[in-house]
Amino acid sequence: MNVRRLRLLLLCAALLAAACAHAQPPGRGLGLQFEAGTVFGADAGLDSGGDVGVDAWSVRLSGRRAVTDDLRLGLAAGFGEQRFRFSGDGDFSSLRPWGDVQDVRLSGSLFWEPTDRWSLFAIPTLRWEAEAGASLSDGQIAGLITAASYKVNDRLSIGPGVGIFSGLEEDADFFPVLAVDWQITDRLKFRTGRGFGASRGPGLAFDWAANDDWSVSLGGRYEKDRFRLDDHGVAPGGIGQATSTPIFIAVTRKLGRIGRLRGIVGMDLNGSVRLEDAQGDLLRRTDAEDAPFAGATFDVRF
């Protein structure tokens, strides 16, 4: 897949979506959203010596439509890139195992309220993650996140869920999901939330609304990214993996009724990087020190 063409297609899709949304007759129940963001990470020391750092950016176009009063369906497409930096003469870093990693995401969404108390959601996903120069099709994985939520009262809905993702040369990943929407006070909420860009699963966050325009969030999640490597590095056609537990504080400013601008600062905790050969056998692994990051996101609804 040609990356330049893909970027152009996503840009054209966003412009077309905007035009269609403004031309949409009232009462059709169609909502469109365009999101873009970037994150800059500081270099983190590796236990085996040397450093690793990563910057990332992502764009996403999504649409959602109410089919009935009880059922909403959605579709989203996104593209992003993680730019890894390895430096120093450590056992892992000196290999310079990979550089820029690209990812493409397609996902659907289903939200159904069969009763006044129960709601169900499901998010099937297809993703392609590969180092620049490798075929994106060699980094394809599929996944599903689903949960059921029970409305305890007008302020609290909570329920269990599960996520499952196929692996690159490994067994499928299973992880638990907590679906929660708790309006603790008129201004403070505890909720399940999305992560940035290529995040696999939902995290948890506290949101505090200072006023109608400003809000502050404190959240965290677990991240795991696996991607196919090109044929020219130390592990031709191999697999790279990066994991971490980011925690963050975000300040959000509403831009009228359709847009939001958000600034983010945080720390990547419990990080690690892993290098495998083309069959998924371990070649190198090392932990990373905690490191700060900062970024910004922007979204607009039509």
The domain spans of the chain are 3-301
List of the chain residues with pLDDT < 50:
1-28, 197-199
Q: Which residue reads 């290529």 in tokens? A: 198
β-bridge mates for residue 262, sequence order: 252, 297
Q: Helix, strand, coil % (nearest 5) of the chain? A: 10, 60, 30
Contact predicate 59/105, CB 8 Å? no
Over the stretch 237-252, which tens digit does the pLDDT of each residue have? 999 999 999 999 999 9
Contact predicate 169/194, CB 8 Å? no
CATH architecture of the region 3-301? Beta Barrel (2.40)
Q: What is the pLDDT of residue 171?
A: 83
The Cα–Cα gap between 93 and 87 comes to 6
Q: Which residue reads 């932990």 in tokens? A: 287
Q: What is the pLDDT of residue 2?
A: 42
Q: What is the pLDDT of residue 167?
A: 84
Rounded (10°) CA dihedral 215, 252, 102, 43: -90
Q: What is the pLDDT of residue 30?
A: 78
This prediction has a pTM of: 0.85
Query: Which SS3 state, helix, strand or coil, does residue 281 take?
Result: coil
Over the stretch 95-150, which tens digit does the pLDDT of each residue have? 999 999 999 999 999 999 999 999 999 999 999 999 999 999 999 999 999 999 99
Residues 6+ apart with CB under 8 A from 196: 37, 39, 56, 58, 264, 295, 297
Q: Which two tokens stand for residue 171?
A: 């067994």
Contact predicate 188/175, CB 8 Å? no
Q: Which two tokens stand for residue 163?
A: 């996520």
